[in-house]
Amino acid sequence: MSPRPRRYLSSLLLLSAVAGLALWLAAWKGQALREAEAASPGPAEPAEAVTVATVRRDVTRPSTTAIGTVLALRSVTLRNELPGTVREVRLVPGQIVEPGTVLVALDVEVERAELAALEARAALAETTLARLERLIAEQATSEATVDQARAGRDVARADIARTRAIIERKTVRAPFRARVGLADLHPGQYLDAGTEVTTLQAVTGAVFIDFAVPQAVAARLRRGRTVQVSAAGDEPSRPAAIVAVDARVNPETRSATVRARLEGGAATLPPPGASVQVTVPTGAPEPALVIPATALRKGPEGDHVFVVAPGDDQQPRARVRRVEAAMAGDEVFVRAGLEEGEKVATSGSFKLRDGMLVAVPDGPRASGR
């Protein structure tokens, strides 16, 4: 072989050796990287923090809730019957007044002067009548004169009674024991007849609660039935007895107004006009599974909850569970879909999806009233 072909062959062998070495190094590097990736830990799976409740069995009573308004047993708006100028004001907002307490007095100087004149006229009529009655006994006057004198006396007495009634009507008094509302009256102020003076709310040991319920619920309510009433921050709820159900159903809302009477101390009852929550029983007591209302989620496919249980990796995970449930205030009565003792997510359940890892910071807590 000549020297030139021999050089070509040597170069080709050298290039082949270099290429083979490069391929081997690349394969070795790739394998090393794969082994390193397999050996290194992957990113941690995120976990959502939630609280859980234990499904418990209880004897419950189906019910519905409504928002009620507190009304005083007696409530009036005071107005003056006659016009006049204010002479005295004794209205202290928030003060409790007794029946007959003078609240506003109008000026009655003219009426008092007129009353004095009428009393003097009546006294003269009494004297004249007495004199004529003595004369008639002696047949020194006629019966007609005596009758005229007697009528004059009666008219004088009637004028006195009328003037005293006017004076009394110009004095506004409390008709019953009540709490005084806001007022803006001042001595010297002129009031037309029928001007609003203030409002009075009766101070008693009971108040009325008015609330509206669907017509189907109202049809089952009767006088004497008990409902539960709770005000803001008022725990536990207190019973109130139904005293009346409106005979008319609202044609727009298809609901009827119900009135209940709540007994209690005047200092502990909610004030008139306050809003309260009323729980109205709609059926007989029955056994049911109970969970907090915050555990129930609603979606296009119906009601569901997230059951918290260990997954295949023994980590707590959320699983979607369809349920048949009914709301009852702060709790939910579950008719199907859960078992007693299971754990369901409550606070934070809106962030969950099926199979998600969850964290329970405080551990399971029991569902209770």
| Signed CA dihedral, 263, 265, 266, 269: sign only | negative
**Residue 365: per-residue pLDDT:** 46
Mean pLDDT of 163-182: 92
Answer with the residue of higher pLDDT: 307 or 350.
307
DSSP designation for 236: S
CA-wise closest residue to 279 among 367, 213, 208:
213
**Residue 46: per-residue pLDDT:** 75
Report the percent of the chain where pLDDT is more than 90. Answer: 35
In the predicted model, what is the mean pLDDT of the chain? Answer: 84
Superfamily of domain 65-73+205-281: Efflux pump adaptor protein, beta barrel domain (2.40.30.170)
Confidence of residue 173 (pLDDT cuts 50, 70, 90): very high
Per-residue tokens: 230: 């709770």
Q: Where are the alpha helices (DSSP H) in 138-186?
A: 143-169
Task: State the Cα–Cα distance between residues 295 and 286, nearest whole angstrom.
Answer: 21
Mean pLDDT of 26-44: 70
CB atoms within 10 A of CB 173: 14
Per-residue tokens: 120: 């003097």
Q: Is domain 108-169 annotated with CATH 1.10.287?
A: yes
Q: Where in the chain is the domain with CATH 1.10.287?
A: 108-169
**Residue 369: per-residue pLDDT:** 41
pLDDT at 366 over 50: no
Q: Where in the chain is the domain with CATH 2.40.30.170?
A: 65-73+205-281
Mean pLDDT of 115-124: 92
Calculated CA dihedral for residues 313, 317, 321, 326, nearest 10 degrees: 150
Kindly report, residue by residue over 218-244, the tens digit of the pLDDT.
Answer: 988 999 999 989 886 656 788 999 999
User: Which range is least confidently modeled, 92-96, 117-121, 272-276, 328-332?
Assistant: 328-332
Kindly report, residue by residue over 290-340, the tens digit of the pLDDT.
Answer: 888 888 888 777 888 888 888 877 788 888 888 887 776 677 878 788 888
Mean pLDDT of 201-208: 90
pLDDT at 67 over 70: yes
**Residue 40: per-residue pLDDT:** 54
Task: State the Cα–Cα distance between residues 338 and 323, nearest whole angstrom.
Answer: 7
Backbone angles phi, psi at 82, to 5 degrees: -120, 150
Rounded to two decimals, what is the model's pTM? 0.59
The amino acid that residue 95 corresponds to is: Q
State the fold for domain 49-60+286-366. 2.40.420
**Residue 245: per-residue pLDDT:** 93
Confidence of residue 105 (pLDDT cuts 50, 70, 90): very high
Residues in the chain: 369
Cβ-based neighbours of 298, under 8 Å, separated by 6 or more? 304
Task: State the Cα–Cα distance between residues 250 and 232, nearest whole angstrom.
Answer: 28
Mean pLDDT of 352-358: 81
Per-residue tokens: 294: 């915050």
Mean pLDDT of 118-136: 88
**Residue 109: per-residue pLDDT:** 92
| E strand intervals along 155-270 | 171-173, 178-180, 190-191, 196-202, 206-214, 226-230, 238-245, 255-263
Backbone angles phi, psi at 42, to 5 degrees: -80, 175
- Please, are residues 180 and 93 in contact by the beta-carbon 8 Å criterion? yes
**Residue 328: per-residue pLDDT:** 67
Mean pLDDT of 69-74: 91
User: Which range is least confidently modeled, 93-97, 181-185, 346-350?
Assistant: 346-350
Task: State the Cα–Cα distance between residues 50 and 348, nearest whole angstrom.
Answer: 5
pLDDT at 289 over 50: yes
Mean pLDDT of 337-346: 85
Q: Where in the chain is the domain with CATH 2.40.420.20?
A: 49-60+286-366
